[in-house]
Structure 1
């Protein structure tokens, strides 16, 4: 999840996607890849990495599925990992080339979306909640009502990130249903509450880190790591809320594309990011937790107690990993999202 689209891709190599020895093409969420990490990787291996940004799971999937993308690695969210595997878009990993695979924390190894981590390795994980400037709105921020029944102080000042599964799932949980529900009554309530709320939003955009930091927005549905960055930028004015009705937990993981051209370089990068000190560099930049054991020792001190990263005990029970939506559940979700985009 999770993830903000930056104005420009971080490019440490040629802008072309041509395969060449000593190059690597990483397709990742915007504003999510540490420049320091890439510089260290290049210094140690001589491999130059080009990062191309995407702004949603669906955009990334469509781009690669169309063919000829030229990318080697992609970083989808947990609920999308099975889709990439089923469509044959990614390779099973050769674990003999990944000695650091053993560093994956036990709780992130036998995950529902990739048992034994045969196709993916952890990048970062976090949650989707509500970021609010508490100088503008002093009410309860631990509820999806902030964006679904927008309080007067936030009308025309609240953004909603355009990530379908997060937003529709938040709304579904708000009306009492479960993510990917196939119950037509539940999904009608989901549709109605979203469509009624939309006129009170200022936008559906990804630039929350920048726009909340500079005061363009007073609130946004947002991801926890981005919100921590905003809090630090605003001297604590912007706080992160965990919707009590239910909120998504995500993990984004690195996968090797089936048509990758720079395979050996890709394996070196995958193994590199599973070293604890390197995983900590990823987290230090984007401010999300990672799934590598031992990385805590290298993490910034302010992340070890940050309420956006260390979920307060009273909010843990409301968080849940989103399933991979299929069948009627996916149909309902897609139809609602399509209508919401109009």
Structure 2
């Protein structure tokens, strides 16, 4: 009888240990994941999610490509998804394990960077523009001249986020070109305007949400959701500009890594964040729109009218989703970025 009880206790202990070992490794952009959402997921599933941050698409790609990252899920931007697919770093999703996939909004179900959503599901989407403390600078903020022809009030007070394609594309559009241009004259102009502007920047850093909020910086090339958070923290002093010369749109999506160690946990997480109320938790934290139908009714009321989230009609035409640059275009962009980092 004692032996039977011991065996039973061992089975129960093993079951408890297995539950405790349920975990998931998420590799995501910094300050971009709702802790409230993670806590809810853990409470419902028993799976503990560990989030590791990165500050650019290139950093994330290089880290995973080097091998042995230990991550299960990653959140690349739209123009990088084809690169992850081509390199074999992410795998097609098994839709039979994703009953909530039908919640993806119609406009995001079949996208150029991932036809039929074979590899990814939406996380959040938005734009890259200019965040400016209007107490410091009262001029036009709807132009890339704010960081490329820096006004005197912002010299030494403006940051540029370290996202290669966003920054080079903003400069390319500013000089009259299009993203992924292979025109050497256009790209030389983009290079020259960036190098001329750099001495007037204070930094090239990811932490705009915190450092604009506390007044360390007066302006930054920044993403819209981050800027909304800053506006709320500064009582409206920081506003978001949409460069009239052209600005990038993006969608970040979640993908399953080929060498993921916690595949079943990953599928549970992917399905969980496609529930409208859970997608809303992600948006309410980071302040970006998501791609899940029905999530709007669970969002904070200010999200539905925020000028950083709902693009004003007059600026819609200037926004464009960046293509995946290849060939000469990628060579030009990489060379410009390398020189800019010196």
- What is the rounded CA distance, in whole Å, between the counterparts of 1:90 and 1:131 in structure 2? 34
Kindly indicate whether the alpha-carbon contact (under 8 Å) linking 1:78 and 1:251 is maintained by their aligned counterparts in 2.
Answer: yes
Q: Does 1:193 align with 2:200?
A: no
CA distance in 2, matches of 1:68, 1:209: 31
CA distances 1:120-149 after superposition (whole Å, capped 9, x unpaired): 000000000000001111100000000000
User: 1:329 offset after TM fit, Å?
Assistant: 0.1
C-alpha deviation, 1:37, in angstroms: 0.3
Q: Conserved in 2, the CA contact under 8 Å of 1:161 and 1:206?
A: yes
Cα deviation, 1:176-209, whole Å, max 9, x if unaligned, reads 0000100000000000000000000010001101
Q: What RMSD in Å do the two structures reach over aligned CA positions?
A: 0.7
Deviations along 1:228-282, whole A, 9 cap, x unmatched? 0000011000000000000000000000000001000000000000000000000
Q: Which has the higher helix share?
A: 2
Distance 1:145 1:47 in 2: 47
State the Cα deviation string for residues 299-337 of structure 1 (Å, max 9, x = none): 100111000000000000000000000000000000000
After TM superposition, the structure 1 = structure 2 runs for residues 299-318 of structure 1, keeping only pairs within 5 Å, are: 299-318=299-318
Q: Which residue of 1 aligns with 2:146?
A: 146
Does the 8 Å contact 1:21/1:262 carry over to 2? no
Counterpart check, 1:228 vs 2:228: yes
Give the 5 Å matches for 1:109-258. Answer: 109-258=109-258
Structure 1 segments, 4+ long, off by >3 Å, are none
1:1-342 equivalences under 5 Å are: 21-342=21-342
Q: What is the match of residue 8 of structure 1?
A: none
Question: Secondary structure of the residue that 2:169 maps to in structure 1?
Answer: helix
Write the deviation string for residues 54-101 of structure 1: whole angstroms up to 9, x where unpaired.
Answer: 111000000100111110000000000000001000110000000000
Task: Say which SS state the counterpart of residue 28 (structure 1) adopts.
Answer: strand
Counterparts of 1:135 and 1:22, CA distance in 2:
49
Give SS of 1:112's match.
Answer: coil
Instruction: Give SS of 2:181's match.
Output: coil
Q: Alignment partner of 1:123: what SS?
A: strand
- Aligned counterparts of 2:203 and 2:59: Cα–Cα separation in 1: 19
In structure 2, the gaps of 5 or more residues are 1-19
Which secondary structure state, in structure 1, belongs to the residue aligned with residue 279 of structure 2? helix
- Quote how far apart the aligned CAs of 1:21 are: 4.4
Once residues 141 and 242 of structure 2 are traced to their aligned partners in structure 1, the CA distance between those partners, rounded to angstroms, is: 7
Secondary structure in 2 matching 1:91? coil
Query: Which has the larger Rg?
Result: 2
Normalising by structure 2, what TM-score?
A: 0.94
Q: Across the two proteins, how many residue pairs are aligned to each other?
A: 323
